[in-house]
Amino acid sequence: GSDEVPQRFARSEPLATLGNYNYTKYHPMPEITAWMEMVVKENPGVVSAEVYGRTFENKNITALKIGLNSTSSKKVIWMDCGIHAREWIAPAFCQWFVKEVKYQESKARCIVGMQAMILRTYKSDERMHTILNNVDFYITPVLNMDGYMYSWQNESTRLWRKSRSAPPAGCNCNGTDLNRNFNANWGMIGVSKDCCSDIYCGSKVLSESEADAVTSFVQSMKERVLCFLTIHSHGQLILVPYGYPEIQAPNYDELMQVAQKASEAIKSVHGMEYTVGTPPMVLYPNSGSSRDWARLIGIPFSFTFELRDKGEFGFKLPEDQIQPTCEEAYEGARSIINYVHDKNFPVKGGSVAAATAAFWTTLLASCLTSATFLTEARVPARKILGSGFCEVSEINQKPAVVTDKATADDLDERLTGPLLGDKQRGPEENHNAVIGPRHDRRQRFRGKDVFSQGCCSAFVLRVSVCHRELSAQARLSVHPAPAAKTRETRSWLTASADQR
């Protein structure tokens, strides 16, 4: 009876603002719908909702469109979650992704006053701001709403996978596997014609209203769609087209390279391994998937993410794994998005490093005329040394190139020890290089002091990363420089990159 229904299947949390929405819990469909409405309400001009179809049970299929207003047609990145009802971590990730994209964009706005300017993790935010100027994200948090709601009914329905469409004549089992229903070698391999099977491909291609809605909507803007991401679980995989054996996408090598970089980005967060390949290589052959369909109609980049785990909990991934799963998957998705964006919108001037140098020049120059200049950020030193190399330089000092883990560890030891006068830091904090005024004793580091007096009576650590993006969070306090140092500082700022 109803008394036996676990509490999680019946809960409904009121949502007054986005501030009290819990992204580390699984949410039933009414809560997700309320969240979507609140995201739109609280982010006018950045987020809008677009209904592009209806489910079998006549529910609106809605995508959140995230992007900055433009008078011209923009490129598109597509993401859908929850095509399989029981994969609850997938809708949780789509919500997390929206939160992160929206938050990164909002942080890019500067608060300017008479005596202060606050820039929070400027580089990351400015990059997202640039992407949102060029690209619109279309994100469907739950594609298979009927099935998802059914999986929330009680414990006996928790592992429901398919849609909830009516069975064909002579069968008593509802639903079709939506990811076998697209027009991509439909019905040929890795499917079942038994309507009671979890991988039943439907009575015909696009027999399901949900698959038909995605097809029509994406097809209508296919010339603008740069990337198609569909989020699933479980297995810790990044799948590239095609699911049919012995058939490769024309840009297979590039897809594999991009996916491998995403896998490396994922591993850098919590150490989780994600395997890369086509379904026949690393999973099993299949046909009729949305991923394959997207590549077949000409969308150049199409990937399936299979999130945690590798089978221990399977589709019943505990809620305490939502955050780490989403954190790592976000970095993987962002790696792909950055690649796709940069390929279509090359950075003027030749490199991201040039843009970074320009930022630091502006930042430092501002201290010459500001009474007070304060910005907060932390630089996770080890996190940026995972691949390639990074260049660490100080004002008026020769750059040092860090190329291996041992050197990275040494840099961490020298730069990230507990601050004198501050409380002991935790292990995570100790991997943050803190930038601050030289004359403030509380900001001095234990161990070898590698800094010297520099611009504006402060020391500054400048980090430029050549082969992976730096997500900087650093604390920089710059105070007015003595007049005698002004010309020296301006000379450094106007020097060419080679001279510095």
> Could you list the active site residues?
306
Cβ atoms within 10 A of the Cβ of 181, count? 33
Could you tell me the maximum CA-CA distance found in the chain, to the nearest angstrom? Answer: 91
The pair of three-digit structure tokens given for residue 65, joined into one six-digit string: 């469109």
The pair of three-digit structure tokens given for residue 8, joined into one six-digit string: 């999680």
Euclidean distance between CA atoms 393 and 398, whole angstroms: 6
Q: Which of 150, 146, 143, 161 is nearest to 9 (CA)?
A: 150
In order, the DSSP letters of 287-342 are -S-HHHHHHHTT-SEEEEEEES-SSSSTTS--GGGHHHHHHHHHHHHHHHHHHHHH
Q: Residue 398: what residue type?
A: K
Distances in Å between the alpha carbon of 292 and those of 141, 243, 350? 20, 7, 34
Output DSSP code: residue 127.
H
Euclidean distance between CA atoms 93 and 90, whole angstroms: 5
Euclidean distance between CA atoms 271 and 264, whole angstroms: 9
Strand 400-402 versus strand 432-433 pairing type: unpaired
In 424-490, where do the E strands start and end?
432-433, 461-465, 474-478
Q: Which of 452, 464, 447, 465 is nearest to 409 (CA)?
A: 447
Euclidean distance between CA atoms 278 and 284, whole angstroms: 9
Instruction: Give Cβ neighbours of residue 112 (< 8 Å, ≥ 6 apart).
Output: none
Prior bond to 234 cis, omega within 30? Answer: yes
Distances in Å between the alpha carbon of 457 and those of 364, 368, 445, 488? 12, 11, 17, 12
Helix (H) or strand (E) holding 408: helix 405-415
Instruction: Give Cβ neighbours of residue 277 (< 8 Å, ≥ 6 apart).
Output: 237, 239, 240, 256, 283
Euclidean distance between CA atoms 257 and 263, whole angstroms: 10
Helix residue ranges, H only, 67-204:
89-107, 122-134, 145-151
Euclidean distance between CA atoms 410 and 448, whole angstroms: 10
The pair of three-digit structure tokens given for residue 201, joined into one six-digit string: 């491909």
Instruction: Give Cβ neighbours of residue 337 (< 8 Å, ≥ 6 apart).
Output: 77, 131, 227
